[in-house]
Each structure stands twice: as C-alpha cells, then as structure tokens.
C-alpha cells in the first residue's frame, strides 16, 4: 500500500510519514554521551558552554547568554561558576581526593578555598554514601555559598587523622547563564518542544541520556519535512527553564505539545509522567506508543520532578509531559558516580529513541478526517481496497482499519482516538486513512 497524495491538503499526510530508523542510533547516542561525560557541567560556566558547542557540532544550535543578575520571574540569574582544579592532599602531598579523577568530587558551585586543616575540621565538608561504599555522591550548593567534597565511603575510611591541604580553584562571579536551542521550522509555526536539562556533570542517565536522545531526534527531523516546527531546548534545570520561559513568554502559546527527556538510557521500563492537563494530545500519543510497546508505567502529573514543574506551572500550563525509563530517585545509582557509561546502554537508548519517533509520528499525522460517503459503507471491494499485500493478519487488520476510519471520521474523532477505539496501532489506522484519501473516500477536515 503506497499512498499517493491526491491533493495539496492530503499530500501533507503522505509526505511526513515517519520511517523508523533502523539499527545504529543507540550506539551513536551512546558515543555522544561518552564524549560529553568527562566535562564538568553546572547551571552556568564553561563546562556548559563546551557541552553546547559539541551539541552544535551535531545539530544547528543557537546559543544564548543571559547575564548574572537578570530578573527572571521570581528568580535572578545567578553568578557564573567555573572550576579549574580541586583536591585534598594528605601530609605526604598525595592527592587523596582529586577533581581530575571525577568532577563529582567537588560539591557543584563550591566557592574557592585554599587551606590546611585537620581531618576533624574537614569532615563537615565531606559527603559520602555509607550504603554504597564505592560510589561518590553528586551534590550541589547553588543558592547558598559553601564548599565541600564528595567521596566514596572507602576513601573516607582511609583518611588518617592529621592535617590536610584543601584546595578548590573555582570562581563564582558575575557572568552568564548559557542555554542552547535547535529550532527546526515546519509547515506551521505550531511547535513541538523537547527539553533536556544539561547542567549535570559526569552523570549519564540523568541527564546525558536525555540530551543525546534530543540531539538524535533533531538530527532525524532535520533531514525530513514535517508539519510542526520543532524546538529542542538544552538548558540548565530549573533556572534554565525559568530563564527560557521568561525570555520567551509570549511565544509559549505556539507550543502545542512537549516532552521533557531524561533518564532514558537505563534498563528499566518506560515511564511517562503526564502533563498537568492530563489529557493533552501528547499525553494520549505517548500512552498509545507505550501501550503498544511493552511494559511501562504512567504517572499522573505532580508539581515536582524535572522542568515540567515550570512548563506546567499554572500561569503557563503547557501540554508538556516527561518521558523517562526509571524515574529520578527510583534507581540507587541516581545522582551518584554509578550513573556512568555502563549504566546507560545503547539498546535502551535506541528503544527510547524509537518510542519518541513513534510519538512524533502520531503528533505529525493525527488529523481529523471526514468520511465523504457517510451513509452506509462504501463498496471497498470495487476500489481494490480489500485484500492487499502482507500476511493474512496484516490484511485483516488493514481491512478493519478501513472500516474503523470510515465509521468514526465524522469530524469528531481524530485518528488517535480511532486507533484507541479500535485497539489497532496508530500506524495501521494512519495507513488506512491514507488509502481512503487516495480514493476520495476521506478528506482532511479543514479548520
């Protein structure tokens, strides 16, 4: 069944059909994660800039700098943090904790320090995970000036009493908050937003996996025509999203659908947290893809989690959900050094990617049609619409899909609703709609 567009209106349907990419996407996504992994990111600073620069090598990215002190709604863009080196040296001069080995060793946003102090004095500045003695925790102190080191429980246990040299070669001063946008214009100015926070240092699932997935979605869409315009936002969590919303307040009405992408590389089942609206088209689209895609979980909206908190604040109430595999806080590796390159796997990244493309396919093709022969069934046989290629089951599904699309294309049901009513996959329903359009039995509802 090869749909041939019959007029300019229906052509859009045929043209933007998404063909799922085969094979290598997961491996390439993992490679990008590996490239970005060593960089010490934060909510501001050069690590963030370097990350955006590398993303810009993959997809067209416009980078924005917003000055420290800029008011953004109830918040203020913070001072910029940069770090060059940090360590704890023992009496022998040996670096017993070394930023160069893992950027998680320094509490993110630590103010500079250069002192010698006893272990007792030092201890209030040391953070470990006693339950996971080999793992380094991830800690931040964005809005309270302080400093500290994160280390494994084993490292801590090996520290003998005595004097230690403590050095954090960082700076916290007026500068900028940086974020990047990849905008892919489509046929309409209505937008689909994908947003991934890009402020975490060497942590893979949260959220280099989301960043990488967004990059590869953009790469895919960049090469194909699409109805919607797509906006990929790479910004620091919370303050970045708030800054973006403050700068783009008037244009948010264009956002018709949106997804936060995070924690999409682990082995867990897919999890979808609905938008605040709960029944937005994106909520229905993701629900459909997950229902036909194996084990999964759906969560109602709640006002904490990732940047859906901001996009779904009541003054915006945008239709933005959050797509994950295992949600934040539900895997022990979360916010520790164990969220590393082994924790995220190409096959899971690939699966998340394919599901995202499935969502995009639905959003692009989910239209309302009008049956042009609404009184009794049209005679499909004389048009050669019965039968067709494929297995017996495929043919039967296609024939059923034709009848479902005809019966419910009354101007009240979009294709996704028809797919849900019929229990058939969206792609089967869409192909049926294409075939019926080709025979003038269906027309896109103009509205």
Residue 379 is a binding residue for a copy of itself (CB under 8 A): yes
Choosing from 37, 64, 75, 127, the residue that interacts with a copy of itself (CB under 8 A) is: 75
Residue 171 is a binding residue for a copy of itself (CB under 8 A): no
Choosing from 64, 127, 183, 316, the residue that interacts with a copy of itself (CB under 8 A) is: 316
Residue 317 is a binding residue for a copy of itself (CB under 8 A): yes
Closer to a copy of itself at the Cβ: 226 or 288? 288
Closer to a copy of itself at the Cβ: 208 or 416? 416
| Helices vs strands, H then E, count in the chain | 13, 19
CB of residue 231 vs a copy of itself: minimum separation in angstroms?
Answer: 18
Residue 392 is a binding residue for a copy of itself (CB under 8 A): no
Helix (H, G, I), strand (E, B) or coil at 193: strand
Given the structure tokens 């229906």, which residue do they identify? 10
Choosing from 70, 313, 340, 440, the residue that interacts with a copy of itself (CB under 8 A) is: 313
Closer to a copy of itself at the Cβ: 198 or 312? 312
- How many beta carbons lie within 10 A of that of residue 231, not counting itself? 22
Q: Which of 356, 361, 351 is nearest to 27 (CA)?
A: 351
Closer to a copy of itself at the Cβ: 33 or 416? 416
Choosing from 276, 335, 355, 398, the residue that interacts with a copy of itself (CB under 8 A) is: 276
* Chain residues 213-242 in contact with a copy of itself, contact rule CB under 8 A: 238, 241-242
Residue 127 is a binding residue for a copy of itself (CB under 8 A): no
Residue 154 CB partners (closer than 8 Å, separation 6+) = 133, 134
Contact 260, 323 (CB under 8 A): yes
Residue 312 is a binding residue for a copy of itself (CB under 8 A): yes
Tell me the Ramachandran region of residue 222: left when phi exceeds 0, alpha when psi lies from -120 to 50, beta otherwise.
Answer: alpha
Residue 71 is a binding residue for a copy of itself (CB under 8 A): no
Residue 282 backbone dihedrals phi, psi, to 5 degrees: -65, -35
Choosing from 2, 93, 250, 382, the residue that interacts with a copy of itself (CB under 8 A) is: 382
DSSP 125-189: GEE--TTSTTPPB--B-TTS----EE--HHHHHHPPSSEEEEEEEEEEES-EEEEEEEEE--SSS
Residue 408 is a binding residue for a copy of itself (CB under 8 A): yes
Query: What secondary structure letter does DSSP report for 95?
Result: E
Distance CA 447, CA 435 (A): 22
CB of residue 432 vs a copy of itself: minimum separation in angstroms?
Answer: 12
Residue 444 is a binding residue for a copy of itself (CB under 8 A): no
- The two structure tokens encoding residue 251: 């244009």
Distance CA 239, CA 232 (A): 17
Closer to a copy of itself at the Cβ: 255 or 406? 406
Q: Please, what is the angle between helix 426-438 and helix 415-422, to 10°?
A: 120
Choosing from 8, 304, 392, 393, the residue that interacts with a copy of itself (CB under 8 A) is: 304
Strands 149-150 and 126-127: parallel
CB of residue 278 vs a copy of itself: minimum separation in angstroms?
Answer: 10
Choosing from 19, 74, 120, 342, the residue that interacts with a copy of itself (CB under 8 A) is: 74
Contact 245, 316 (CB under 8 A): yes
Residue 130 is a binding residue for a copy of itself (CB under 8 A): no
Under rule CB under 8 A, how many of the chain's residues touch a copy of itself?
A: 44
Residue 409 is a binding residue for a copy of itself (CB under 8 A): yes
Interface with a copy of itself by CB under 8 A: which range of 67-75, 86-94, 331-339, 340-348?
A: 67-75
Q: Which of 306, 334, 333 is nearest to 321 (CA)?
A: 306
Binding mask of the shown chain, residues 238 to 267, with x at each position contacting a copy of itself by CB under 8 A: x--xx--xx--x------------------
Q: Which of 153, 198, 318, 299 is nearest to 248 (CA)?
A: 318
Alpha helices in 164-294 (DSSP H): 210-222, 239-247, 281-291
Residue 26 backbone dihedrals phi, psi, to 5 degrees: -60, -45
CB of residue 83 vs a copy of itself: minimum separation in angstroms?
Answer: 23
Choosing from 135, 334, 404, 426, the residue that interacts with a copy of itself (CB under 8 A) is: 404
- The two structure tokens encoding residue 100: 């160069």
Binding-site ranges for a copy of itself (CB under 8 A): 72-75, 143, 238, 241-242, 245-246, 249, 276, 300, 302-304, 309-310, 312-317, 371, 373-379, 381-382, 400, 403-404, 406-410, 421-422
């Amino acid at each position: 069944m090869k749909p041939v567009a019959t007029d300019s209106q229906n052509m859009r349907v045929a043209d933007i059909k998404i063909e799922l990419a085969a094979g290598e996407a997961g491996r390439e996504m993992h490679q990008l994660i590996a490239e970005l992994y060593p960089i010490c990111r934060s909510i501001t600073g050069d690590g963030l800039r370097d990350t955006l620069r590398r993303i810009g090598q993959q997809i067209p990215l416009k980078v924005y700098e917003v000055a420290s002190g800029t008011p953004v709604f109830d918040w203020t863009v913070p001072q910029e943090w940069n770090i060059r080196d940090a360590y704890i040296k023992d009496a022998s001069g040996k670096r017993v904790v070394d930023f160069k080995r893992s950027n998680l060793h320094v509490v993110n946003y630590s103010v500079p320090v250069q002192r010698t102090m006893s272990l007792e004095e030092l201890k209030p500045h040391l953070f470990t995970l006693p339950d996971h003695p080999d793992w380094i925790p991830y800690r931040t102190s964005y809005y309270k000036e302080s400093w500290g080191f994160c280390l494994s429980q084993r490292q801590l246990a090996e520290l003998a009493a005595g004097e230690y040299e403590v050095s954090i070669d960082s700076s916290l001063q007026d500068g900028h908050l940086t974020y990047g946008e990849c905008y892919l214009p489509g046929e309409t100015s209505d937008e689909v937003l994908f947003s991934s926070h890009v402020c975490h240092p060497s942590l893979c699932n949260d959220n280099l996996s989301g960043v990488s997935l967004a990059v590869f979605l953009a790469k895919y869409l960049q090469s194909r025509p699409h109805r919607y315009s797509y906006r990929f936002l790479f910004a620091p969590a919370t303050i970045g999203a708030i800054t973006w919303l403050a700068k783009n307040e008037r244009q948010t009405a264009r956002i018709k659908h949106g997804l936060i992408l995070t924690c999409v590389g682990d082995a867990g089942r897919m999890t979808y947290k609905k938008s605040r609206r709960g029944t937005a088209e994106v909520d229905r689209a993701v629900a459909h893809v997950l229902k036909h895609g194996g084990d999964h979980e759906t969560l109602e909206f709640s006002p904490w989690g990732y940047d859906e908190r901001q996009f779904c604040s009541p003054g915006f109430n945008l239709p933005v959900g959050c797509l994950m595999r295992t949600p934040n806080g539900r895997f022990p590796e979360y916010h520790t050094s164990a969220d590393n390159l082994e924790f995220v796997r190409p096959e899971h990244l690939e699966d998340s990617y394919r599901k995202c493309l499935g969502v995009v396919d639905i959003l692009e093709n989910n239209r309302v049609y009008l049956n042009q022969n609404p009184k009794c069934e049209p005679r499909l046989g004389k048009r050669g619409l019965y039968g067709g290629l494929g297995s017996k089951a495929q043919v039967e599904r296609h024939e059923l899909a034709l009848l479902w699309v005809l019966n419910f294309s009354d101007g009240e049901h979009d294709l996704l609703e028809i797919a849900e009513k019929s229990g058939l996959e969206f792609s089967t329903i869409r192909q049926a709609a294409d075939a019926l359009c080709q025979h003038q039995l269906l027309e896109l509802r103009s509205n």
